[in-house]
Amino acid sequence: MMKRILVAMIAICVPLSAQWLNYPTPGIPRLANGKPNLEAPAPKTADGKPDLSGLYDIDNGRLFQDIAADIKPQDFPIQPWAAALAKQREEDMRKGDPYSHCLPPIVPRINSGNRPFKILQLPGLVAILYETGYLFRQIFTDGRPLPKDPQPAWMGYSVGKWEGDTLVVDTIGFQDRGWLDGNKGHPHTDAMHVTERFRRVNLGHLEIQSTIDDPKAYTKPFTVTQKLHLLADSEILENICNENEKDAAHLVGK
Amino acid sequence: MKAHTVMIAIALAASAPAFSQWLRYPTPGIPRTADGKPNLSAPAPKMPDGKPDLSGIWVAADGKYLPNLALDGVEVPFLPWAAALYKERQANHGMGRPSERCLTHGVTDFDALGTPRRFIQTPGMLVIIFEAYNHWRQIFLDGRPLPQTIQPVYMGYSVGKWDGDTLVVDTTGFNDRGWLDDGGHPQTEQLHVTERFRRRNFGHIDLQLTIDDPGAYAKPWTVNLSGFNFFADQELMESICENEKDVQHMVGK
């Protein structure tokens, strides 16, 4: 794979007028008309595992605002206290959404942000660079266990392992101030365990199935799916939220 | 890649202790001395193409350059307006520094900052992920040119190429709101930073910076920073700048 990238790079004649955002992505299969062949098979790494590396954009951002968007209300296993808190946050016009205050959208909400992210898959490590929040995430795939008593963090601590063609990522170590979504303000606690199943369907498509297991706020685990597509010939940009953080002073509650 | 294969083999062989903590997990695949300590004077690892591999977690060997890149007596060729602004920032104890509002660092002050960062080197790219702010930076090594017209940003846009064993990184596209260091050396949108990274051995990266900003300085100036020491058996922690309570307490002269 890497060799192919190098060969393709050398073959591409670099235009002098190249812009940051429209530089052709090297090393991806293309159709006769030069467009990326999004239906080509998912690439593989040297060890035969699917290579998730690439720049992705969401198909639909509804989960960012409502993690239960695809779940029937009667099937959403939210505990009464958590439902009451979510209702209060919604009535308060989501004034307290951390993301409105330039704080991180947590895992898995950040996977549904409306700005692209880049996955870098290396032996032993998967790193994700998010334009949303200008944040990164590390997922250790070198066999290390989850820490026993991690310091609570916005993004938690992640380890991943392969199950067939699916990268299964377990994340714990959350603090409890994050919101699972924006419009609904669904809460979570420090007991949350998120399992994300990353599957690259083909070159152009990625699916992330996320299971939220938080027995302090939900009576049983529930699962949601985010679909994404490859964003070829583009890039991620710097995105400094605090620079324009003039919202907080104007947010009003009920 | 060979190093990575070895890394995996060692990771599989090492029986992971059940009590392992986030910060105490032994870095897999690094050379060690007989007593198990990292062998920091071992040769720098190489990529499959023979170029040095800068990957690893690094900390500034000395954080003393963050307040002043020109600490070692380098004469900074200020233009008059830049000299006046620098003097004012110094007199104001650095009030107005972007970090007081949880804004990001730029290239040069991140290079001087003491907190850990991980270099991830692939054939086409060097990515740096910083513990401070949880921010990232991309340096393209795939031969693309620096972009022409771009949106100015704090971190700029970076491309790198090899000069022997030294990675030479050119960055442009900066905004004029960043500060080159905490002391307040100013910058304009004409800023062009050249970083020369040389992994001298397993444990150390030398780093030289050249600041070329005809908007603020009469000629380019060059400083040797402390470089970075390898930070073995450690990890990056999350560091979100969320305690943005400084700004209201900043006082000037």
ipTM: 0.86
| A162 in reach of chain B (CB within 8 A) | no
Mean pLDDT along residues B115-132: 96
Mean pLDDT along residues B73-89: 97
Helix (H, G, I), strand (E, B) or coil at B161: strand
Show the beta-strand stretches assigned E in B41-109: 56-60
> Looking at the predicted structure, is the pLDDT value of residue B5 above 50?
no
Establish how many alpha carbons lie within 13 A of residue B60's alpha carbon, considering only the half-sphere containing its beta carbon: 20
Cα–Cα distance between A209 and A227 in angstroms, integer? 9
A248 versus B239: which is more confidently predicted? B239
| A149 in reach of chain B (CB within 8 A) | yes
| A253 in reach of chain B (CB within 8 A) | no
Strands A193-202 and A166-172: antiparallel
**Cβ separation of B148 and A17 shorter than 8 Å?**
yes
| A11 in reach of chain B (CB within 8 A) | no
Question: B180-219 burial, b for 16+ CB within 10 Å, e for fewer?
Answer: bbbbbbbbbeebbbebbbbbeebbbbbbbbebbbeebbee
Helix (H, G, I), strand (E, B) or coil at A89: helix
Å from A5 to nearest chain B CA? Answer: 8
What's at B244, amino acid-wise? E
**Cβ separation of B154 and A9 shorter than 8 Å?**
no
What is the percent of chain B where pLDDT is above 70? 86
- A123 vs B contacts (CB less than 8 Å): 1, 4-5, 7-8
User: Closest-CA residue in chain A for B238?
Assistant: A153
Tokens of A111: 């996977």
User: Closest-CA residue in chain A for B172?
Assistant: A20
Q: Are B153 and B173 in contact (CB under 8 A)?
A: yes
Q: What is the pLDDT of residues A226-246, one digit of tens each?
A: 999 999 999 999 988 887 656
Cα–Cα distance between A206 and B77 in angstroms, integer? 52
Cα–Cα distance between B53 and B170 in angstroms, integer? 18
What pLDDT was estimated at residue B23?
A: 72
Q: What is the pTM of this model?
A: 0.88
Cα–Cα distance between A220 and A212 in angstroms, integer? 9
> Looking at the predicted structure, is the pLDDT value of residue A224 above 50?
yes
What is the percent of chain A where pLDDT is above 70? 88
Listed residue (A28, A40, A194, A148) closest to B124, CA to CA: A28
What pLDDT was estimated at residue A127?
A: 98
- Token pair 């930070």: residue: B231
What pLDDT was estimated at residue B174?
A: 95
What pLDDT was estimated at residue A253?
A: 65
Cα–Cα distance between B213 and B192 in angstroms, integer? 6
Question: A148-181 burial, b for 16+ CB within 10 Å, e for fewer?
Answer: eebeebbbbbbbbeeeeebbbbbbbbbbebbbbb
**Cβ separation of A240 and B123 shorter than 8 Å?**
no
User: Closest-CA residue in chain A for B158?
Assistant: A20
> Looking at the predicted structure, is the pLDDT value of residue B167 above 80?
yes
What pLDDT was estimated at residue B24?
A: 76
Residue B100's pLDDT band (cuts 50, 70, 90): confident
Residue B80's pLDDT band (cuts 50, 70, 90): very high
| A1 in reach of chain B (CB within 8 A) | no
| A9 in reach of chain B (CB within 8 A) | yes
Tokens of B184: 């307040």
Residue A223's pLDDT band (cuts 50, 70, 90): very high
What pLDDT was estimated at residue B249?
A: 65
Q: What is the pLDDT of residues A92-122, one digit of tens each?
A: 988 899 998 889 999 999 999 999 999 999 9
Residue B251's pLDDT band (cuts 50, 70, 90): low
Å from B123 to nearest chain A CA? Answer: 7
Cα–Cα distance between A217 and A192 in angstroms, integer? 9
B249 versus B157: which is more confidently predicted? B157
Which of A131, A141, A144 would you mutate first to test chain B, the one with the most B CBs within 10 A?
A144
> Looking at the predicted structure, is the pLDDT value of residue A22 above 90?
no
Å from B253 to nearest chain A CA? Answer: 25
Listed residue (B223, B202, B177, B164) closest to B85, CA to CA: B177
**Cβ separation of A151 and B22 shorter than 8 Å?**
yes
End-to-end C-alpha distance for chain B, whole angstroms: 55
Mean pLDDT along residues B38-59: 96
**Cβ separation of A142 and B241 shorter than 8 Å?**
no
Residue A247's pLDDT band (cuts 50, 70, 90): low
> Looking at the predicted structure, is the pLDDT value of residue A6 above 80?
no
Cα–Cα distance between A115 and A138 in angstroms, integer? 19
> Looking at the predicted structure, is the pLDDT value of residue B8 above 80?
no
Mean pLDDT along residues A67-78: 97
- A9 vs B contacts (CB less than 8 Å): 124, 142-143
What pLDDT was estimated at residue B102?
A: 87
- CB < 8 Å from B in window 65-124 of A: 102-104, 120, 122-124
**Cβ separation of B123 and A2 shorter than 8 Å?**
yes
**Cβ separation of A14 and B48 shorter than 8 Å?**
no
Q: Are B181 and B72 in contact (CB under 8 A)?
A: no
What pLDDT was estimated at residue B17?
A: 38
Tokens of B143: 């031969």
What pLDDT was estimated at residue A254?
A: 65
Tokens of B111: 């290079």
What is the DSSP secondary-structure string of B201-233? ETTEEEEEEEEE-TTTBSS-EEEE---EEE-TT
Cα–Cα distance between B61 and B38 in angstroms, integer? 16
Cα–Cα distance between A66 and B74 in angstroms, integer? 55
Mean pLDDT along residues A132-146: 95
**Cβ separation of A124 and B7 shorter than 8 Å?**
yes
Q: CA A164 → CA A115, A206, A241, B64, B144, distances in Å?
A: 29, 15, 38, 49, 36
Average pLDDT, chain B: 88
Average pLDDT, chain A: 90
Mean pLDDT along residues A196-225: 98
> Looking at the predicted structure, is the pLDDT value of residue A172 above 70?
yes
Please provide the size of chain A in residues: 254
> Looking at the predicted structure, is the pLDDT value of residue A150 above 90?
no
